[in-house]
Each structure stands twice: as structure tokens, then as C-alpha cells.
């Protein structure tokens, strides 16, 4: 599902301004920069689940891809793919098992159950990841100290802004994609685009993040309100 969403995000941006297909190598490069590695094989696996999701074909020596119903119907496409993916999974799990006569052999008894082996492996991994970060008691005390500091010296708005500032790099990557296509975008539209990447943020949080981004980097964007309409002006476009 994550790879499907990564492809959807890139094609959503692409088809916002053009109906031309996107080069598959460009798609893979952009998804990789956003943190998800995509290959042609991954796209083919998605098409096995939902053949109508994309059109992938050759133009000359280049493989291209397009989605006819993007940039609209983003949420509907997610629901369709999730439903088809679940149906395919259920079909695999419900496939009947054919029984054959065979010799009954006694398997070798292991010295400890598999579950215990997994638990021991996870415990060792935790130790490897935490052994350089102090003892358990030291980490608990450090966490308590940081919580006390936040409770006493920061208001609720400051705590919220601290969280939103951590989301700014992700929003900035989205705006960098848009600067190549437009100079000004309506606030509701840009909220919808950002929400496809950061779907855990509310409209109010996205708007506040844009304000914080404008304060931190006014050379990238400005939130402009004229009358009853608010636009995000992409200064670097």
C-alpha cells in the first residue's frame, strides 16, 4: 500500500498541470527522493492487483505511465486499491489445500521454541540499538526532565508549533515540486495536495505550518489573503 501511495502522490502532482504521461524513470527518481524506492516490477505488481490503475507503455525507447482519473478521485482510488488488495489477499489465504498420501516422518525437535528464538533476537536487536544511549534509568530520567521542561516553560501553542515545525521539511518538499508548475495556488487546493502526503494533519495544522514556513523561509512561499480568498504564493516559482 505504501508504494501505491508513493506513486499516487507523484502522479497527482504531475497531472495537476498536464495530461501528458510521466517517464517511469522520473517517477522512480522522485519517489526515491521522497523516501520510497519504486521499480518497474513494483508497478507491475500493483497492476496485477488493479489492472486499470495506470496505463504503462513505451514511447520510443522510454517507458511512460499515466492515470486517467488523476488529479481528481484521489480518495476513491485509494479505497478501490485497498479493496482489491484485500480481495486478492483473501483469495490467496482461502485457496483449498490438496491432501496427498505421504509417509509420516518425525521432525527434529529443536532445543527451544521458535517464539522464544524470535523474542531473543528482538531483545538482542534492542540492546544493539540502545547500548550507546545510556542505561535504562538514565534514559527515563532524561525523558522525565524533558517533559517537566515542556510542561513548565512552553505553552500549549508553543508545543503545537514545535511539532508543526518538525513537519515543515516535508511540506517544503511538496512546495518545491509545485514551484515548477505554478506561481500561486488556492489554499484549499494546496491543503488537499499536502494532505495526500501528510494525511495526519488537519486543515488548521496545515495552515499554521504554512505560516511558520513563511516566517522561516519567506523566499519560498507567502500566504496572501485578498477579500474572501486565500492563496499560497510560491515566490521561487
Cell of 45: 505488481
Angle, vertex CA 141, rays to CA 136 and CA 145, nearest 5: 150
Domain region containing 217: 156-234
Supply the CATH number for residue 184's domain.
1.10.10.1420
- Domain boundary among the residues 46, 69, 91 is at 91
Residue 236 has pLDDT above 60, yes or no: no
Inside any domain, residue 130 = no
Dihedral pair phi/psi, residue 59, rounded to 5°: -120, 105
Query: Helix H segments across the chain?
Result: 2-17, 24-33, 40-49, 74-93, 114-130, 136-153, 156-178, 187-197, 203-216
- Domain boundary among the residues 62, 91, 120 is at 91
Inside any domain, residue 102 = no
Inside any domain, residue 61 = yes
Kindly tell me the burial class for residue 221, based on how many C-beta atoms sit within 10 Å of its own C-beta (0-12, 13-18, 19 or more). buried
Q: How many domains does the chain have?
A: 2
Inside any domain, residue 54 = yes
One domain for residues 86 and 161: no
C-alpha to C-alpha distance for 201 and 92, rounded to whole angstroms: 35
Inside any domain, residue 101 = no
Tell me what pLDDT residue 143 has: 57
pLDDT band at 115 (very low <50, low <70, confident <90, very high): very low
Tell me what pLDDT residue 101 has: 57
pLDDT digits (tens, 9 = 90+) for 31-58: 888 888 888 888 899 888 888 888 888 9
Least confident of 31-35, 143-147, 200-204: 143-147
Of the two residues 86 and 144, the one the predictor is more confident about is: 86
C-alpha to C-alpha distance for 169 and 171, rounded to whole angstroms: 5
CB 206 within 8 A of CB 196: no
Amino acid at each position: 500500500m505504501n508504494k501505491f501511495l508513493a506513486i499516487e502522490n507523484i502522479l497527482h502532482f504531475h497531472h495537476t498541470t498536464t495530461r501528458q504521461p510521466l517517464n517511469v524513470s522520473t517517477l522512480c527518481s522522485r519517489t526515491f527522493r521522497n523516501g520510497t524506492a519504486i521499480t518497474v516490477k513494483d508497478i507491475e505488481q500493483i497492476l496485477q492487483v488493479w489492472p486499470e490503475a495506470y496505463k504503462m507503455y513505451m514511447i520510443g525507447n522510454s517507458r511512460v505511465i499515466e492515470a486517467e482519473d488523476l488529479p481528481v478521485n484521489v480518495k476513491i482510488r485509494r479505497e478501490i486499491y485497498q479493496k482489491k488488495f484485500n480481495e486478492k489477499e483473501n483469495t490467496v489465504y482461502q485457496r483449498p489445500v490438496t491432501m496427498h498420501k505421504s509417509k509420516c516422518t518425525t521432525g527434529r525437535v529443536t532445543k527451544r521454541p521458535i517464539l522464544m528464538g524470535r523474542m531473543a533476537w528482538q531483545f538482542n536487536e534492542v540492546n544493539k540499538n540502545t547500548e550507546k544511549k545510556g542505561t535504562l534509568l538514565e534514559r527515563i530520567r532524561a525523558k522525565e526532565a524533558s517533559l517537566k521542561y515542556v510542561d513548565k516553560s512552553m505553552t500549549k501553542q508553543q508545543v503545537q508549533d514545535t511539532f508543526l515545525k518538525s513537519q515543515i521539511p516535508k511540506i517544503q518538499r511538496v512546495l518545491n515540486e509545485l514551484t515548477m508548475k505554478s506561481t500561486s495556488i488556492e489554499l484549499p487546493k494546496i491543503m488537499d495536495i499536502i494532505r495526500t502526503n501528510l494525511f495526519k494533519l488537519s486543515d488548521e495544522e496545515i495552515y499554521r505550518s504554512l505560516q511558520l514556513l513563511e516566517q522561516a523561509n519567506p523566499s519560498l512561499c507567502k500566504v496572501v489573503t485578498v477579500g474572501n480568498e486565500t492563496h499560497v504564493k510560491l515566490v521561487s516559482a
